[in-house]
């Protein structure tokens, strides 16, 4: 009975939406959002999990969020700038050109970048040099690094990804040439998926996401330092990237209210609880 | 008695009830069976189609996997890496490729079937050998294959294999696997409406999935457990049936399907079992069955009601008719049946009613005729049995009123002398009509015209003033003349005060018949009474002859006859005997005609010889009368009227009962008359002496019973005489009372004068006149007589009071002068001297009541 009723309600809603859209579509362009329409969110894939957490906990039920597929940080900024998005997620510093767009940037969290292996590789950590060696292609088997006899499967991200940028900035250095044996994965979930399903794989991803999802992978110490919120807060773990959002300067009242709330102490506590380091 | 055999009603209903119940039950059984079969086959078909859907989805996904396997195997980088034998790169590439194909697992196997690299859920480490030996052999054939069902490591998978050329002619195999787990089953079974379970070639359950609507986890678990129902379903595979399974309250039908692929060299196979819930079907079956059952009950009830109605419509009239026929058979012709509507039954009812009406009419007229006949018969007997006109008319009227069922009736007869019409007998009305009423009555007209007359009260609506018979007061009346050969004697009339009563011409005929009888009877009575009168005249003539012979005993016979009749009344003789006695009394001394006048008229005592002659007279009388054919036995009475009860009489010396009764009566009457009457030679004795003499001689001379009866009769007649001559007190007129008073007063004064002399009497007058004047009494004594002055209008009571006061004054004076005892004496003397009638009045008036 209950599912049937739910189905009925859903189909009625669908019909209503079709009617509404039939009325609205010819007169409006898709770029301008009207009040009551869902708030469109996209941008950096790293930051989206955080925004999902925040939007899920947001108390105002009248505001509906829709998460469009990841566009990376730059795509999010451009989307907000030309009005295709209301909120763009950004997991890196804004460039000069981007700052010139005059958008409102709000820092929500500082996310650690953690190196990890498939759970079959039971080493506690790597030094920065060892990491550089792996990505340079110096090692082919975990034996060489004190691990099990398993070939190393190197998972990497594109150079313009914020995670790769941060990794290069803090660990690899700008000049390091990545071995061709490494494979570039486009999205962070792919990276995480590969890390979980491939014996002997190594890769890196958002600490906050990993902690919040309790991923069954082997988190590595970097230079003997645990990747933890605590260590990020006290500054001993410094491979971090800023997670923030951009909104239009003339954004609607309800979006501004959300932004205000997201940077409030209550939201900060929530962020920290879920494994993300707070903004400051 | 069998209730079903008794009433037509039940006989109609019972078979129809049985039939309708039987039809309803049969319809229900057939319907339920058919529905059951339809639903079962529907479930089977649905289950079969569900398996078809699932299998086709499985094939679809296996086709996708084969395509993906081909794409990946042809990837240049992969081919290059394989050629290089670069395991690290291969592993990375597999990760990369899997991002696009999203397979559960992708792995690369070397010629020995060992894992070179692998990514995905199977978590295979390089060097592992996940395939079973049997499978490994053909895997290494380096051929492209349609996906096969195979266990990889611990998992049962659908795996597509694609050869990849390796180093130095070696061939690697790329394997893309989809783990057949619950999630996969869910994917391929979505929308099939069935819970699906997949079993491997050993019929071991691998995965099962059921959506929440179909029963959820409970069903999945039931399917995964080694369920006999699943085994049965697999055993029944290919047949056109399904096996039942129950999980908790829910019921399912299982349909199994063998899953194989074309061009599968391994001949791998799996079994797919679809569990189709029958809940909806069961609901439908139950609801439908319920509806059919309900409809059947409603139909049976409606049919039964209809049957009931029809049966009543048929049987009730028949029942009523039957009852009515029974009543008619019992003689109740008022039985009617009434039905509404217009059909054969109402026609029957009308015919029946007409029949009973006609029967009733006939029966009533028959009854009336019988009654008439019976009454006429009775009446004719009554007419013959009496010669008394009044009794006759009374009984005739009673009978006539009974016949006509009316309450009034009278007979008028024309008086022979005056010619006036007089009412002779009247029934049903208490007041005697006066002559005027008779003159204006209908019988006057009828007697005058000699024709019958009916009048009936006007019917409601008829504008005619109602007439009332002046004699009887009847509203409806019928009058018929009594016509004899000598003309119209009178008329007989019957009538009713009921304004609804109607007389008919039949009634006229009937009353005319009665009138004829009455006329004849009146004629008879007149004839008889004239005959009797003739006899009496004859007898009187004979008696007169005796009287002429013996003038001393003149009137003797008449008086003896009176005394004899007095005794006859007392001993209750019949009218004929009385007549005979009367005749005998008149004639008892007829024999004295034969006695010589010397003896007969001789004063003083007769000699024995003369007496002997004298004693012949009863015999002579009897002999004289013998030749006359009197209707009554008179001669024996005359012969024996001097017999004595003790047998010492003459002429026959009969004794006691031997003497005829009438003779014994006559003896007493004769003796009494002889004692009390005066004769030339002696005075008659007083009544009392005569009675004493009778009593003295009772038993010797006379029959004691006759003597007793006579004395009783004398007493009664004395009382009767007294009552006759003594009118009631209230009828005593004031004049008469005053006359009594004056007489008593005069008597007392006369007695006083006799005793006290004229001088004292004159004193008395003066004194009393003074008292009267002082009292204002309207009386005055003058020369020994009381004079009454005119006293104007006074009530009788007041006058009586005046008289008493006057008497008191007289009595007081006498008492004063002569003593109290003389007052009573004078009063008694005065009253004694009064005639009998006045004497009694004086007592009644109580003139001297205060003294005594």
Residues B783-809, mean pLDDT to the nearest whole number = 74
Q: Are residues A116 and A227 in the same domain?
A: yes
A38 Rama sector, left if φ>0, alpha if ψ -120 to 50, beta otherwise: beta
> Is the CB of B88 less than 8 angstroms away from the CB of A3?
no
Tell me: pLDDT of B56 over 80: yes
Res B719: pLDDT:
62
Res B288: pLDDT:
85
Q: Answer yes or no: is B224 within a domain.
A: no
Res A274: pLDDT:
81
Contact A182, A154 (CB under 8 A): yes
Q: Answer yes or no: is B812 within a domain.
A: yes
Contact B275, B223 (CB under 8 A): yes
> Is the CB of A194 less than 8 angstroms away from the CB of B98?
yes
> pLDDT band for position A133 (50/70/90)?
very high
The range of the structural domain enclosing residue B116 comes to 74-179
- In chain B, residues with a C-beta closer than 8 Å to the C-beta of A184 are 96
Res A6: pLDDT:
59
Q: Are residues A138 and A225 in the same domain?
A: yes
Tell me: pLDDT of A271 over 50: yes
Q: Are residues B766 and B717 in the same domain?
A: no
- In chain B, residues with a C-beta closer than 8 Å to the C-beta of A153 are 88, 91-92, 95, 117, 119
Cα–Cα distance for residue pair B715/B782, rounded to 1 Å: 43
> pLDDT band for position A153 (50/70/90)?
very high
Q: Are residues A184 and A204 in the same domain?
A: yes
Q: Taking CA atoms, what residue in B is nearest to A134?
A: B88
Residues B330-337, mean pLDDT to the nearest whole number = 80
Q: Nearest to residue B490, comparing CAs of B504, B503, B474, B471?
A: B471
Q: Answer yes or no: is A176 within a domain.
A: yes
- Dump pLDDT digits (tens) for B697-728: 888 889 999 999 888 888 877 665 444 433 44
Q: Taking CA atoms, what residue in B is nearest to A198?
A: B119
Q: Are residues B489 and B472 in the same domain?
A: yes
Cα–Cα distance for residue pair B577/B387, rounded to 1 Å: 15
Which uninterrupted H or E stretch holds B484?
strand B476-484
Q: Are residues A42 and A136 in the same domain?
A: no
Q: Are residues B502 and B647 in the same domain?
A: no
Q: Are residues A117 and A229 in the same domain?
A: yes
B229/chain A closest Cα distance in angstroms: 29
Q: Which residues of A257-279 are buried (b: 16+ CB within 10 A; e: fewer)?
A: ebbeebbeeebbebbeebbbbbb
Cα–Cα distance for residue pair A185/A156, rounded to 1 Å: 6
Cα–Cα distance for residue pair B248/B253, rounded to 1 Å: 14
Share of chain B above pLDDT 90, in %: 1
Q: Answer yes or no: is B784 within a domain.
A: yes
Who among A181, A185, A201 is closest to B86 (CB)? Answer: A181
Q: Answer yes or no: is A14 within a domain.
A: no
Place of tokens 């398996």: B51
Which uninterrupted H or E stretch holds A156?
strand A153-157
Res B323: pLDDT:
85
Q: Are residues A215 and A169 in the same domain?
A: yes
Q: Answer yes or no: is A122 within a domain.
A: yes
Contact A243, A108 (CB under 8 A): yes
When divided into structural domains, chain B yields a total of: 4
Q: Are residues A206 and A256 in the same domain?
A: no
Contact A108, A49 (CB under 8 A): no
- In chain A, residues with a C-beta closer than 8 Å to the C-beta of B89 are 180-181, 183
Residues B819-841, mean pLDDT to the nearest whole number = 73
Q: Answer yes or no: is A26 within a domain.
A: no
> Is the CB of A200 less than 8 angstroms away from the CB of B125?
yes
ipTM above 0.85, yes or no: no
Q: Are residues B734 and B700 in the same domain?
A: no
Lowest mean pLDDT among A91-100, B432-441, B687-696: B432-441
At CB < 8 A and 24+ separation, what contacts does B114-118 make? B116/B87, B116/B90, B116/B172, B117/A151, B117/A153, B117/A198, B117/B87, B117/B90, B117/B91, B118/A198, B118/A199, B118/B91, B118/B94
Tell me: pLDDT of B611 over 60: yes
Who among B92, B98, B123 is closest to A199 (CB)? Answer: B123
Regarding pTM above 0.95, the answer is no
Q: Which two tokens stand for residue B359?
A: 């029967």
> Is the CB of A151 less than 8 angstroms away from the CB of B98?
no
> Is the CB of A154 less than 8 angstroms away from the CB of B93?
no
A270/chain B closest Cα distance in angstroms: 32
Cα–Cα–Cα angle for B666, B670, B674, nearest 5°?
Answer: 175
Q: Are residues B702 and B791 in the same domain?
A: no
Q: Nearest to residue A40, comparing CAs of A93, A10, A91, A76?
A: A76
Q: Are residues A128 and A185 in the same domain?
A: yes
Res B3: pLDDT:
44
Q: Are residues A137 and A220 in the same domain?
A: yes
Cα–Cα distance for residue pair B147/B184, rounded to 1 Å: 15
Who among B92, B95, B125 is closest to A150 (CB)? Answer: B125
Q: Which two tokens stand for residue B556?
A: 């003797």
Q: Answer yes or no: is B457 within a domain.
A: yes
Write the CB contacts of B685 (distance below 8 Å, at least 6 apart in sequence). B675, B676, B693
- The CATH number linked to B86 is 3.30.450.20
> pLDDT band for position B746 (50/70/90)?
confident
- In chain B, residues with a C-beta closer than 8 Å to the C-beta of A155 are 92, 95
Tell me: pLDDT of B613 over 80: yes
Residues B47-71, mean pLDDT to the nearest whole number = 87
- In chain B, residues with a C-beta closer than 8 Å to the C-beta of A199 are 118, 123-126
For A190, how many CA atoms within 13 A lie in the half-sphere containing its CB?
A: 22
Q: Are residues B688 and B801 in the same domain?
A: no
3-class state of residue B245 by DSSP: strand
Cα–Cα distance for residue pair B704/B716, rounded to 1 Å: 18
Which uninterrupted H or E stretch holds B152?
strand B148-152
Q: What is the bridge-based pairing of β-strands A218-219 and B205-209?
A: unpaired
Q: Are residues B564 and B683 in the same domain?
A: yes
Q: Taking CA atoms, what residue in B is nearest to A199?
A: B125
Cα–Cα distance for residue pair B764/B784, rounded to 1 Å: 10
A277/chain B closest Cα distance in angstroms: 29
Q: Are residues B614 and B682 in the same domain?
A: yes
> Is the CB of A198 less than 8 angstroms away from the CB of B119?
yes
- In chain B, residues with a C-beta closer than 8 Å to the C-beta of A190 are 99
Cα–Cα distance for residue pair A141/B91, rounded to 1 Å: 12
- In chain A, residues with a C-beta closer than 8 Å to the C-beta of B121 are 197
Helices B734-775 and B836-845: crossing angle, nearest 10°?
A: 50
> pLDDT band for position A118 (50/70/90)?
very high
Tell me: pLDDT of A26 over 60: no
> Is the CB of B120 less than 8 angstroms away from the CB of A190?
no
Tell me: pLDDT of B375 over 50: yes
- The CATH number linked to A101 is 3.40.190.10
- Dump pLDDT digits (tens) for A43-56: 888 788 888 888 88
- Dump pLDDT digits (tens) for A208-264: 888 888 888 999 999 989 888 888 888 888 888 888 899 988 888 888 888 888 888
Q: Are residues B813 and B718 in the same domain?
A: no
Cα–Cα distance for residue pair A104/B393, rounded to 1 Å: 149
Cα–Cα distance for residue pair B624/A197, rounded to 1 Å: 183
Q: Are residues B639 and B684 in the same domain?
A: yes
Tell me: pLDDT of B839 over 60: yes
Write the CB contacts of B394 (distance below 8 Å, at least 6 apart in sequence). B425, B427
Residues B186-206, mean pLDDT to the nearest whole number = 84
Res A135: pLDDT:
93
Q: What is the DSSP string of A204-259?
A: EEEHHHHHHHT--SEEPEETTB---HHHHHHTS---EEEEEEEE-TT--HHHHHHH
A185/chain B closest Cα distance in angstroms: 7
Q: Nearest to residue B795, comparing CAs of B736, B739, B734?
A: B734
Q: Are residues B767 and B798 in the same domain?
A: yes
Cα–Cα distance for residue pair B195/B691, rounded to 1 Å: 147
Q: Which two tokens stand for residue A37?
A: 């329409």
> Is the CB of B126 less than 8 angstroms away from the CB of A151?
yes
Q: Are residues B561 and B697 in the same domain?
A: yes
When divided into structural domains, chain A yields a total of: 2
Q: Answer yes or no: is B590 within a domain.
A: yes
Residues B729-739, mean pLDDT to the nearest whole number = 64
Res B730: pLDDT:
44
Res A30: pLDDT:
42
Among B179, B194, B226, identify where a domain stops.
B179
Res B2: pLDDT:
44
Q: Answer yes or no: is B146 within a domain.
A: yes
Q: Answer yes or no: is B529 within a domain.
A: no
> Is the CB of A152 less than 8 angstroms away from the CB of B86?
no
> Is the CB of B92 less than 8 angstroms away from the CB of A193?
no
Cα–Cα distance for residue pair B586/B467, rounded to 1 Å: 55
> Is the CB of A199 less than 8 angstroms away from the CB of B92?
no
> pLDDT band for position B851 (50/70/90)?
very low
- In chain B, residues with a C-beta closer than 8 Å to the C-beta of A150 are 125-126
Cα–Cα distance for residue pair B158/B69, rounded to 1 Å: 12
At CB < 8 A and 24+ separation, what contacts does A220-225 make? A220/A114, A220/A115, A220/A116, A220/A117, A220/A123, A220/A124, A220/A125, A220/A126, A221/A124, A221/A125, A221/A126, A222/A115, A222/A125, A222/A126, A222/A127, A222/A128, A222/A131, A222/A171, A223/A125, A223/A127, A223/A128, A224/A125, A224/A127
Q: Are residues A195 and A101 in the same domain?
A: no
Residues B737-746, mean pLDDT to the nearest whole number = 79
Cα–Cα distance for residue pair A240/A93, rounded to 1 Å: 12
Among B688, B707, B724, identify where a domain stops.
B724
Q: Which two tokens stand for residue B674?
A: 């002889």
- In chain A, residues with a C-beta closer than 8 Å to the C-beta of B98 are 193-194, 197
Cα–Cα distance for residue pair A275/B571, rounded to 1 Å: 157
> Is the CB of A201 less than 8 angstroms away from the CB of B121?
no
Q: Which of A145, A151, A195 to mutate to test the interface with B (most CBs of B within 10 A)?
A: A151
Q: Are residues A107 and A129 in the same domain?
A: no
What DSSP designation does B679 have? B
Res B141: pLDDT:
59
Who among B88, B98, B212 is closest to A181 (CB)? Answer: B88
The range of the structural domain enclosing residue A120 comes to 112-234
Cα–Cα distance for residue pair B102/B92, rounded to 1 Å: 15
Burial class (CB in 10 A: 0-12, 13-18, 19+), B226: exposed
Q: Are residues A120 and A103 in the same domain?
A: no
Cα–Cα distance for residue pair B445/B459, rounded to 1 Å: 24
Q: Answer yes or no: is B10 within a domain.
A: no
Cα–Cα distance for residue pair B240/B685, rounded to 1 Å: 153
Who among A3, A185, A200 is closest to B91 (CB)? Answer: A200
Tell me: pLDDT of A25 over 50: no
Res B725: pLDDT:
39
Cα–Cα distance for residue pair A256/B759, rounded to 1 Å: 175
More confident residue, A276 or B795: A276
- In chain A, residues with a C-beta closer than 8 Å to the C-beta of B211 are none
Q: Nearest to residue B180, comparing CAs of B161, B152, B203?
A: B152
Contact B544, B557 (CB under 8 A): no
Q: Which of B88, B117, B119, B127 to mutate to test the interface with A (most CBs of A within 10 A)?
A: B88
C-alpha torsion B1→B2→B3→B4, nearest 10: -150
Among B724, B744, B777, identify where a domain stops.
B724
Interface of B with A (CB under 8 A): 86-89, 91-96, 98-99, 105, 117-121, 123-126, 212-213
Q: Which residues of B369-405 are buried (b: 16+ CB within 10 A; e: fewer)?
A: eeebeebbeebbebbeebbebeebbbbbbbbbbbbbe
> Is the CB of A155 less than 8 angstroms away from the CB of B92?
yes
Cα–Cα distance for residue pair B138/B265, rounded to 1 Å: 8
A190/chain B closest Cα distance in angstroms: 6
> Is the CB of A201 less than 8 angstroms away from the CB of B125?
no
Residue B488's CB: how many other CB atoms inside 10 A? Answer: 19
Which uninterrupted H or E stretch holds B62?
helix B8-73
- The CATH number linked to B429 is 3.30.450.40
């Amino acid at each position: 009975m209950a599912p049937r009723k739910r189905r009925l309600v859903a189909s009625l809603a669908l019909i209503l939406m079709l009617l509404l859209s039939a009325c609205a579509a010819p007169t409006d362009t898709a770029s301008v959002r009207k009040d009551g329409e869902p708030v469109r969110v996209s941008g950096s894939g790293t930051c989206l999990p955080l925004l999902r957490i925040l939007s899920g906990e947001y108390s105002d039920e009248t505001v509906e969020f829709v998460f469009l597929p990841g566009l990376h940080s730059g795509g999010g900024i451009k989307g907000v700038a030309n009005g295709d998005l209301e909120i763009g997620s950004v997991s890196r510093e804004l460039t000069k050109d981007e700052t010139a767009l005059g958008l409102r940037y709000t820092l929500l969290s500082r996310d650690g970048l953690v190196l990890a292996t498939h759970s079959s590789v039971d080493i506690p950590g790597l030094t920065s040099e060892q990491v550089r060696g792996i990505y340079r292609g110096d090692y082919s088997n975990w034996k060489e690094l004190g691990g099990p006899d398993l070939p190393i499967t190197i998972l990497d991200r594109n150079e313009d990804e914020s995670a790769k940028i941060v990794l290069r900035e803090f660990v690899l250095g700008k000049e390091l040439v990545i071995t061709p044996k490494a494979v570039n994965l486009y999205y962070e979930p792919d990276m995480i998926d590969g890390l979980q399903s491939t014996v002997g794989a190594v890769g890196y991803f958002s600490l906050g996401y990993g902690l919040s999802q309790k991923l069954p992978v082997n988190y590595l110490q970097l230079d003997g330092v645990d990747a933890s919120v605590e260590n990020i807060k006290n500054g001993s773990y410094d491979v971090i990237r800023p997670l923030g959002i951009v909104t239009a300067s003339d954004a609607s009242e309800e979006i501004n209210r959300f932004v205000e709330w997201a940077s409030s102490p209550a939201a900060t506590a929530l962020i920290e609880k879920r494994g993300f380091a707070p903004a400051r | 008695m069998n209730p079903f055999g008794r009433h037509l009603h039940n006989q109609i209903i019972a078979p129809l009830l049985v039939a309708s119940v039987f039809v309803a039950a049969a319809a229900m059984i057939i319907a339920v069976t058919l529905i059951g079969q339809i639903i079962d086959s529907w479930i089977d078909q649905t289950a079969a189609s569900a398996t078809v859907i699932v299998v086709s989805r499985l094939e679809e996904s296996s086709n996708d996997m084969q395509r993906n396997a081909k794409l990946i195997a042809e990837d240049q980088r992969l081919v290059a890496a394989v050629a290089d034998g670069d395991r690290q790169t291969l592993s990375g590439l597999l990760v990369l490729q899997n991002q696009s194909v999203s397979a559960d697992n992708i792995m690369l196997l070397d010629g020995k079937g060992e894992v070179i690299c692998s990514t995905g859920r199977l978590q295979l480490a390089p060097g592992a050998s996940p395939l079973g030996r049997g499978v490994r052999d053909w895997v290494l054939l380096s051929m492209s294959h349609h996906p096969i069902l195979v266990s990889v490591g611990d998992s049962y998978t659908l795996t597509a294999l694609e050869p990849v050329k390796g180093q130095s002619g070696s061939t690697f195999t790329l394997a893309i696997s989809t783990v057949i787990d619950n999630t996969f089953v869910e994917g391929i079974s979505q929308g099939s409406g069935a819970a699906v379970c997949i079993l491997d070639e050993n019929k071991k359950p691998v995965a099962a999935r059921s959506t929440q609507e179909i029963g959820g986890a409970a069903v999945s678990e039931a399917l995964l457990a080694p369920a006999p129902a699943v085994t049965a379903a697999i055993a029944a595979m290919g047949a056109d049936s399904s096996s039942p399974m129950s999980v908790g309250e829910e019921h399912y039908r299982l349909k199994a399907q063998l899953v194989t692929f074309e061009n599968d060299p391994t001949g791998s196979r799996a079994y797919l079992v679809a569990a189709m819930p029958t809940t909806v079907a069961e609901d439908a079956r139950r609801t439908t069955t319920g509806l059919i059952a309900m409809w059947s009950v409603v139909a049976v009830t409606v049919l039964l009601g209809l049957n009931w109605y029809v049966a009543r419509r048929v049987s009730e009239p028949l029942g009523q008719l039957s009852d009515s026929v029974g009543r008619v058979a019992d003689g109740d012709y008022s039985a009617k049946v009434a039905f509404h509507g217009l059909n054969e039954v109402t026609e029957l009812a009308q015919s029946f009613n007409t029949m009973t009406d006609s029967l009733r009419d006939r029966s009533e007229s028959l009854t009336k005729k019988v009654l008439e006949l019976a009454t006429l018969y009775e009446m004719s007997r009554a007419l013959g049995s009496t010669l008394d006109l009044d009794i006759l008319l009374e009984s005739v009227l009673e009978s006539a009123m009974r016949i006509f069922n009316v309450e009034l009736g009278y007979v008028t007869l024309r008086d022979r002398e005056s010619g006036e019409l007089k009412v002779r007998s009247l029934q049903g009305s208490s007041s005697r009509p006066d002559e005027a009423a008779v003159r204006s009555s209908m019988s006057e007209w009828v007697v005058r015209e000699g024709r019958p007359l009916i009048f009936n009260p006007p019917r409601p609506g008829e504008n005619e003033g109602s007439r009332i018979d002046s004699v009887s007061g009847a509203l409806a009346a019928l009058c018929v003349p009594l016509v004899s050969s000598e003309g119209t004697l009178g008329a007989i009339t019957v009538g009713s005060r009921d304004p609804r009563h109607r007389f008919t011409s039949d009634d006229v005929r009937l009353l005319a018949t009665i009138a004829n009888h009455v006329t004849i009877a009146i004629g008879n009575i007149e004839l008889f009474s004239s005959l009797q009168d003739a006899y009496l005249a004859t007898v009187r003539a004979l008696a007169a002859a005796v009287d002429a012979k013996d003038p001393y005993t003149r009137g003797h016979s008449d008086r003896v006859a009176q005394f004899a009749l007095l005794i006859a009344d007392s001993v209750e003789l019949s009218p004929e005997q009385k007549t005979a006695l009367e005749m005998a009394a008149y004639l008892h001394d007829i024999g004295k005609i034969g006695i010589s006048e010397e003896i007969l008229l001789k004063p003083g005592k007769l000699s024995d010889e003369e007496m002997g002659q004298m004693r012949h007279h009863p015999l002579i009388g009897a002999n004289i009368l013998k030749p006359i054919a009197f209707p009554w036995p008179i001669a024996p009475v005359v012969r024996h009227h001097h017999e004595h009860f003790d047998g010492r009489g003459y002429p026959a010396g009969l004794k006691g009962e031997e003497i005829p009764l009438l003779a014994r009566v006559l003896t007493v009457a004769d003796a009494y008359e002889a004692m009390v009457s005066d004769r030339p030679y002696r005075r008659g004795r007083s009544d009392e002496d005569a009675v004493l003499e009778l009593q003295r001689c009772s038993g010797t001379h006379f029959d004691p019973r006759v003597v007793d009866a006579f004395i009783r009769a004398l007493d009664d007649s004395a009382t009767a005489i007294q009552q006759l001559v003594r009118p009631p007190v209230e009828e005593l007129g004031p004049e008469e009372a005053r006359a009594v008073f004056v007489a008593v007063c005069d008597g007392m004064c006369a007695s006083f004068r006799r005793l006290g002399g004229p001088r004292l009497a004159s004193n008395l007058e003066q004194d009393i006149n003074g008292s009267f004047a002082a009292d204002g009494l309207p009386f005055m004594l003058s020369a020994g007589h009381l004079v009454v002055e005119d006293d104007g209008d006074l009530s009788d009571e007041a006058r009586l009071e005046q008289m008493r006061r006057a008497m008191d004054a007289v009595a007081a004076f006498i008492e004063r002068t002569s003593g109290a005892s003389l007052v009573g004496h004078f009063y008694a003397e005065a009253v004694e001297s009064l005639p009998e009638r006045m004497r009694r009045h004086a007592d009644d008036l109580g003139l001297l009541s205060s003294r005594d």
